[in-house]
């Protein structure tokens, strides 16, 4: 049943798994609105990041998704991460995440989660990424958070770029068919 609002697709997973690239591709493929990851933009202007940056990043991500929802005109909107990522990285990097962010992440969940696995080549970015060795631990942290936050059926996205694109597009098409 269609609720009249766009279907929200969220890309999630460890760093350097292709979330931004795949989100942009999905937005182009489905001619829809997409929301870039706010933390990436924030980090460009605030270095080094620390525990005090978790809340501004969460507020910025919320504001970006709200603006996108207001301007969305189609049946679909794609988020290159959401507040669940803020929770995971707050916990992973600093040992904790403010309770209000965790509560908001539970309330503001997407409709479909595409969980990208760390099985693509690492692309160095000294300003934005930790290390290739961190991806497996981050991946496990996302797996725990998806279960903890009640996201029972995230679609696992594996393999090279062609397979990632076809798997993601197929999952989105199936979700759109369910809400018609």
In a domain, 1, yes or no: no
Task: Please give the backbone phi and psi of residue 147, each rounded to the nearest 5 degrees, phi first.
Answer: -65, -45
- Packing angle between helix 83-94 and helix 38-45, nearest 10 degrees? 50
In a domain, 2, yes or no: no
As a whole number of angstroms, the distance between CA 149 and CA 180 comes to: 26
Q: Residues, the chain, total?
A: 180
Sheet holding 112-116, edge to edge: 33-35, 76-80, 7-13, 112-116, 155-157
In a domain, 117, yes or no: yes
Number of domains the chain contains: 1
As a whole number of angstroms, the distance between CA 179 and CA 55 comes to: 34
Q: pLDDT digit string (tens) for 18-64?
A: 999 999 999 999 999 999 999 999 999 988 999 999 999 999 999 99
As a whole number of angstroms, the distance between CA 97 and CA 122 comes to: 27
Q: Specify the pLDDT at position 125.
A: 67
Residue 171, domain CATH: 3.40.50.300
Instruction: Give the percent of the chain with pLDDT over 90.
Output: 81
Q: pLDDT digit string (tens) for 118-171?
A: 999 888 765 555 677 889 999 999 999 999 999 988 999 999 999 999 999 999
In a domain, 154, yes or no: yes
């Amino acid at each position: 049943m269609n609720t009249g609002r766009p279907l929200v697709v969220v890309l999630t997973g460890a760093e350097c798994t292709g979330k931004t690239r795949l989100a942009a591709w999905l937005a182009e493929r489905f001619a829809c609105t997409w929301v870039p990851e706010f933390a990436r933009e924030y980090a460009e202007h605030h270095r080094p990041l620390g525990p005090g940056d978790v809340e501004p990043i969460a507020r910025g991500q919320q504001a970006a998704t709200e603006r996108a929802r207001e301007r969305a005109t189609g049946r679909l909107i794609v988020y290159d991460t959401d507040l669940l990522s803020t929770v995971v990285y707050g916990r992973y990097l600093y040992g904790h995440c403010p309770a209000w962010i965790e509560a908001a992440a539970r309330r503001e969940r997407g409709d479909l989660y595409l969980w990208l696995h760390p099985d693509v080549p690492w692309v160095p970015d000294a300003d934005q990424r930790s290390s290739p060795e961190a991806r497996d631990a981050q991946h496990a942290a996302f797996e725990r958070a998806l279960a903890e936050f009640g996201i029972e059926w995230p679609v696992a996205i594996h393999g090279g770029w062609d397979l990632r694109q076809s798997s993601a597009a197929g999952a989105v098409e199936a979700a759109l068919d369910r809400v018609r």
